[in-house]
Amino acid sequence: MASESEATATIEDGVRRRDFINIAAVSFAGVGAGAVVLPLVAQMNPSADVLALSSTEIDISAIASGQAIKTSWRKQPVFVRNLTPAEIEEANRVPMGDLRDAETLADRTKPGKENWLITLGVCTHLGCVPLGAAEGENRGDFGGYFCPCHGSHYDTAARIRKGPAPTNLVVPPYDFTSDTVVTIG
Protein backbone atom coordinates (compact mmCIF):
# COMPACT_ATOMS: atom_id res chain seq x y z
CA MET A 1 0.00 0.00 0.00
CA ALA A 2 2.95 2.28 0.37
CA SER A 3 3.27 2.40 -3.39
CA GLU A 4 -0.33 3.71 -3.79
CA SER A 5 0.33 6.65 -1.47
CA GLU A 6 3.55 7.40 -3.36
CA ALA A 7 1.62 7.32 -6.65
CA THR A 8 -1.06 9.67 -5.24
CA ALA A 9 1.61 12.09 -4.03
CA THR A 10 3.27 12.00 -7.44
CA ILE A 11 -0.04 12.75 -9.22
CA GLU A 12 -0.71 15.67 -6.86
CA ASP A 13 2.81 16.98 -7.44
CA GLY A 14 2.29 16.60 -11.21
CA VAL A 15 -0.96 18.58 -11.13
CA ARG A 16 0.68 21.34 -9.15
CA ARG A 17 3.58 21.53 -11.60
CA ARG A 18 1.17 21.54 -14.55
CA ASP A 19 -0.87 24.37 -12.97
CA PHE A 20 2.30 26.39 -12.47
CA ILE A 21 3.33 25.83 -16.09
CA ASN A 22 -0.14 26.89 -17.31
CA ILE A 23 -0.11 30.04 -15.17
CA ALA A 24 3.41 30.90 -16.29
CA ALA A 25 2.50 30.38 -19.97
CA VAL A 26 -0.65 32.52 -19.71
CA SER A 27 1.27 35.26 -17.85
CA PHE A 28 4.02 35.22 -20.45
CA ALA A 29 1.42 35.46 -23.24
CA GLY A 30 -0.31 38.37 -21.43
CA VAL A 31 2.94 40.30 -21.08
CA GLY A 32 3.72 39.63 -24.74
CA ALA A 33 0.28 40.81 -25.85
CA GLY A 34 0.69 43.97 -23.75
CA ALA A 35 4.10 44.61 -25.32
CA VAL A 36 2.51 44.39 -28.76
CA VAL A 37 -0.71 46.33 -28.03
CA LEU A 38 0.74 49.28 -26.05
CA PRO A 39 2.68 50.81 -28.96
CA LEU A 40 -0.34 50.40 -31.22
CA VAL A 41 -2.58 52.22 -28.75
CA ALA A 42 0.06 54.89 -28.04
CA GLN A 43 0.34 55.78 -31.72
CA MET A 44 -3.37 56.71 -31.71
CA ASN A 45 -2.76 59.59 -29.25
CA PRO A 46 -3.11 63.07 -30.76
CA SER A 47 0.05 64.54 -32.25
CA ALA A 48 1.80 67.59 -30.82
CA ASP A 49 0.30 69.96 -33.39
CA VAL A 50 -3.21 68.78 -32.54
CA LEU A 51 -2.57 69.18 -28.81
CA ALA A 52 -1.31 72.72 -29.45
CA LEU A 53 -4.65 73.58 -31.07
CA SER A 54 -6.69 72.07 -28.23
CA SER A 55 -6.88 75.40 -26.41
CA THR A 56 -6.42 79.04 -27.30
CA GLU A 57 -6.15 82.23 -25.28
CA ILE A 58 -7.94 85.39 -26.33
CA ASP A 59 -7.24 88.89 -25.02
CA ILE A 60 -10.68 90.50 -24.73
CA SER A 61 -9.50 93.85 -23.33
CA ALA A 62 -9.80 95.60 -26.72
CA ILE A 63 -13.40 94.51 -27.40
CA ALA A 64 -15.68 97.44 -26.61
CA SER A 65 -19.26 97.04 -25.42
CA GLY A 66 -21.44 96.11 -28.40
CA GLN A 67 -18.53 94.81 -30.47
CA ALA A 68 -17.65 91.28 -31.52
CA ILE A 69 -14.56 89.60 -32.93
CA LYS A 70 -13.93 86.46 -34.94
CA THR A 71 -11.10 84.16 -33.93
CA SER A 72 -10.46 80.47 -34.38
CA TRP A 73 -10.18 77.41 -32.18
CA ARG A 74 -9.53 73.91 -33.55
CA LYS A 75 -9.72 75.38 -37.05
CA GLN A 76 -13.29 76.55 -36.44
CA PRO A 77 -14.45 80.16 -36.23
CA VAL A 78 -15.35 81.50 -32.79
CA PHE A 79 -17.39 84.63 -32.10
CA VAL A 80 -16.61 86.63 -28.95
CA ARG A 81 -19.19 89.35 -28.29
CA ASN A 82 -19.26 91.96 -25.54
CA LEU A 83 -23.00 92.46 -25.07
CA THR A 84 -24.38 95.89 -24.20
CA PRO A 85 -26.76 96.24 -21.23
CA ALA A 86 -29.60 96.75 -23.75
CA GLU A 87 -28.70 93.49 -25.57
CA ILE A 88 -28.58 91.62 -22.26
CA GLU A 89 -31.98 93.02 -21.27
CA GLU A 90 -33.44 92.17 -24.68
CA ALA A 91 -32.11 88.58 -24.47
CA ASN A 92 -33.52 88.14 -20.96
CA ARG A 93 -36.98 89.42 -22.03
CA VAL A 94 -37.50 86.69 -24.64
CA PRO A 95 -40.07 84.12 -23.40
CA MET A 96 -38.66 80.58 -23.39
CA GLY A 97 -41.75 79.42 -25.30
CA ASP A 98 -40.66 81.55 -28.28
CA LEU A 99 -37.35 79.69 -28.58
CA ARG A 100 -36.83 76.53 -30.62
CA ASP A 101 -33.81 75.53 -28.47
CA ALA A 102 -34.75 77.06 -25.10
CA GLU A 103 -31.71 78.42 -23.25
CA THR A 104 -31.45 81.57 -21.18
CA LEU A 105 -28.57 84.00 -21.60
CA ALA A 106 -27.35 82.88 -18.16
CA ASP A 107 -27.17 79.29 -19.47
CA ARG A 108 -24.90 80.48 -22.28
CA THR A 109 -22.54 82.75 -20.30
CA LYS A 110 -20.45 82.55 -17.12
CA PRO A 111 -21.79 83.93 -13.82
CA GLY A 112 -20.58 87.48 -13.27
CA LYS A 113 -19.55 87.75 -16.93
CA GLU A 114 -23.01 87.82 -18.56
CA ASN A 115 -21.84 90.46 -21.02
CA TRP A 116 -19.34 88.06 -22.65
CA LEU A 117 -20.96 85.67 -25.13
CA ILE A 118 -18.57 83.15 -26.69
CA THR A 119 -19.91 80.79 -29.36
CA LEU A 120 -18.65 78.73 -32.25
CA GLY A 121 -19.22 80.64 -35.47
CA VAL A 122 -20.74 77.65 -37.24
CA CYS A 123 -24.42 77.57 -38.22
CA THR A 124 -26.08 74.48 -36.79
CA HIS A 125 -27.99 73.88 -40.02
CA LEU A 126 -25.26 72.99 -42.53
CA GLY A 127 -22.06 74.39 -41.03
CA CYS A 128 -21.91 77.78 -42.75
CA VAL A 129 -20.31 80.78 -41.02
CA PRO A 130 -23.00 83.30 -40.03
CA LEU A 131 -22.60 87.06 -40.41
CA GLY A 132 -22.87 89.54 -37.57
CA ALA A 133 -19.52 89.51 -35.80
CA ALA A 134 -17.79 92.13 -37.95
CA GLU A 135 -18.75 95.79 -38.15
CA GLY A 136 -21.43 96.46 -40.77
CA GLU A 137 -22.43 92.82 -41.33
CA ASN A 138 -26.08 91.83 -41.48
CA ARG A 139 -27.16 90.72 -38.00
CA GLY A 140 -30.54 89.34 -39.05
CA ASP A 141 -34.03 90.10 -37.79
CA PHE A 142 -33.07 89.70 -34.11
CA GLY A 143 -29.80 91.66 -33.93
CA GLY A 144 -27.49 88.71 -33.37
CA TYR A 145 -26.18 86.65 -36.26
CA PHE A 146 -27.52 85.85 -39.72
CA CYS A 147 -26.60 82.90 -41.94
CA PRO A 148 -27.27 84.06 -45.53
CA CYS A 149 -26.86 80.59 -47.05
CA HIS A 150 -30.22 79.30 -45.83
CA GLY A 151 -31.67 82.20 -43.83
CA SER A 152 -31.11 81.27 -40.18
CA HIS A 153 -31.55 84.21 -37.80
CA TYR A 154 -30.00 84.19 -34.31
CA ASP A 155 -30.72 86.68 -31.52
CA THR A 156 -28.21 88.60 -29.39
CA ALA A 157 -27.66 85.50 -27.24
CA ALA A 158 -26.88 83.44 -30.41
CA ARG A 159 -30.13 81.48 -30.03
CA ILE A 160 -31.94 80.32 -33.16
CA ARG A 161 -35.09 82.34 -33.73
CA LYS A 162 -35.96 81.88 -37.41
CA GLY A 163 -34.85 79.67 -40.29
CA PRO A 164 -33.83 76.04 -40.74
CA ALA A 165 -31.10 75.76 -38.07
CA PRO A 166 -32.25 73.25 -35.44
CA THR A 167 -30.25 74.50 -32.44
CA ASN A 168 -28.50 77.55 -31.00
CA LEU A 169 -24.90 78.36 -31.86
CA VAL A 170 -22.70 76.08 -29.75
CA VAL A 171 -20.96 77.49 -26.67
CA PRO A 172 -17.48 75.93 -26.48
CA PRO A 173 -15.83 75.08 -23.15
CA TYR A 174 -14.07 78.21 -21.89
CA ASP A 175 -12.80 79.85 -18.71
CA PHE A 176 -11.76 83.34 -17.75
CA THR A 177 -8.12 83.13 -16.65
CA SER A 178 -8.18 86.84 -15.77
CA ASP A 179 -10.47 89.82 -16.33
CA THR A 180 -9.01 90.32 -19.80
CA VAL A 181 -8.04 86.80 -20.94
CA VAL A 182 -10.31 83.89 -21.94
CA THR A 183 -9.03 80.37 -22.55
CA ILE A 184 -11.14 78.31 -24.93
CA GLY A 185 -10.72 74.57 -24.76
Catalytic positions: 150
Helix (H) / strand (E) containing 80 = strand 76-82
Given a contact cutoff of 8 angstroms between Cβ atoms, the answer to whether 125 and 166 are in contact is yes
- The phi and psi torsions of 60 (rounded to 5 degrees) equal -100, 5
In the beta sheet, which residues pair with residue 70?
79
Q: Would you list the DSSP string of 105-162?
A: HHHHS-TT-TTEEEEES--TTTS---B-SSTT---TTTEEEEETTTTEEEETT--EEE
